[in-house]
């Protein structure tokens, strides 16, 4: 275990670059944006959902710097909850391990999870790729997978500033990827209005993947603006392993 309190289980052949995952700039921006509370309604909803499901062995896939992960184990009951966060980005896990204690932090790949068969009763998958065969293997029967993805109109006005044509997100496509062994229990929507100042807008731009597909001049124009009003809108798919 590293001094900061995490384990690195990422094998060389699992890396798609010398330093996979989010950049230091993106991580810094994400932490500042999230800790300002802009996505707090989603974090609160995940906390309530994990508690309601009675989850006791939880994995947060693609956990990043741990903002959402830290809410999953804060159960209202007295039953002990074991929480792990896994991400391919070592700098993200280092940030998480320094900030949030009592959670098992792992540098690793979602394509090869370091967990025994049917050893988890809840896996959360926020804005990251689904590795269905591994999810099917590690989630116990009757356990749950929670997929969080942008709703069709998520950050619409931000995207309208970046692109000439804005395409609606398609959250339901993830259900088609799951195939046999999973059934949809619930479909939730979490929406809140954002009134962002210039620095918060710049942080959001630095942490979102949208900017890498946008023209540089469009990004620069948004970064120079005094702020932006938009809406964060997330789709939460609660899927049961059957």
Domains and CATH numbers, the chain: 6-148+168-191+234-241 (3.40.50.150)
Q: Is the pLDDT at 132 greater than 70, yes or no?
A: yes
DSSP 8-state assignment for residue 4: T
How far apart are alpha carbons 8 and 158 in whole angstroms?
A: 36
DSSP 13: G
pLDDT per residue as tens digits for the range 61-89? 999 999 999 999 866 666 789 999 999 99
What 3-state class would DSSP assign to 76?
coil
**Which residues are 82's β-sheet partners?**
57
The pLDDT value given to residue 77: 61
- Annotated ligand binding at 154? The verdict is yes
**What pairing do the DSSP bridges indicate for beta strands 104-107 and 6-8?**
parallel
Tens digits of residue pLDDT in 185-241? 999 999 999 999 999 999 999 999 898 889 999 999 999 999 999 999 999 999 999
- pTM score: 0.93
Residue 28 neighbours by CB under 8 Å, 6+ apart: 206
Model confidence at 55, pLDDT cuts 50, 70, 90, reads very high
| Residue found under tokens 């993947």 | 209
- Residue 25 assigned to a binding site: no
User: Residue 7: beta bridge partners?
Assistant: 106
The answer to whether residues 125 and 62 touch, using CB atoms and an 8 Å cutoff, is: yes
The pLDDT assigned to 130 comes to 95
What is the average pLDDT value for the chain, to the nearest integer?
92
- In whole angstroms, what is the distance from residue 52 CA to residue 46 CA? 10
pLDDT band at 16 (very low <50, low <70, confident <90, very high): low
Question: What is the pLDDT, as a whole number, of residue 208?
Answer: 92
pLDDT tens string 21-50 = 678 889 999 999 999 999 999 999 999 999
């Amino acid at each position: 275990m590293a001094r900061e309190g995490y384990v690195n289980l990422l094998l060389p052949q699992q890396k798609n670059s010398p330093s996979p995952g989010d950049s230091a700039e993106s991580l810094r921006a994400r932490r500042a944006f999230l800790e300002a509370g802009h996505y707090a309604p989603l974090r609160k909803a995940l906390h309530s959902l994990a508690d309601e499901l009675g989850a006791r062995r939880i994995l947060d896939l693609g956990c990043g710097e741990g903002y959402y992960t830290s809410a999953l184990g804060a159960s209202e009951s007295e039953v002990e909850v074991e929480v792990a966060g896994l991400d391919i980005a070592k700098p993200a896990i280092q940030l998480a391990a320094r900030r949030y204690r009592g959670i098992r932090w792992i540098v690793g790949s979602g394509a090869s999870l370091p967990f025994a068969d049917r050893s988890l009763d809840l896996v959360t998958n926020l804005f990251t790729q689904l590795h269905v065969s591994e999810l099917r293997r590690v989630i116990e029967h009757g356990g749950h997978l929670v997929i969080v993805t942008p709703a069709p109109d998520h950050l619409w006005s931000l995207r309208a500033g970046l692109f000439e044509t804005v395409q609606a997100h398609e959250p339901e496509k993830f259900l088609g990827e799951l195939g046999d062994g999973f059934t949809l229990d619930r479909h939730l929507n979490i929406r809140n209005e954002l009134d962002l100042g210039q620095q918060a807008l710049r942080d959001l731009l630095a942490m979102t993947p949208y900017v890498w597909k946008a023209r540089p001049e469009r990004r620069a124009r948004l970064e120079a603006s005094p702020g932006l009003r938009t809406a964060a809108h997330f789709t939460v798919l609660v899927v049961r392993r059957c």
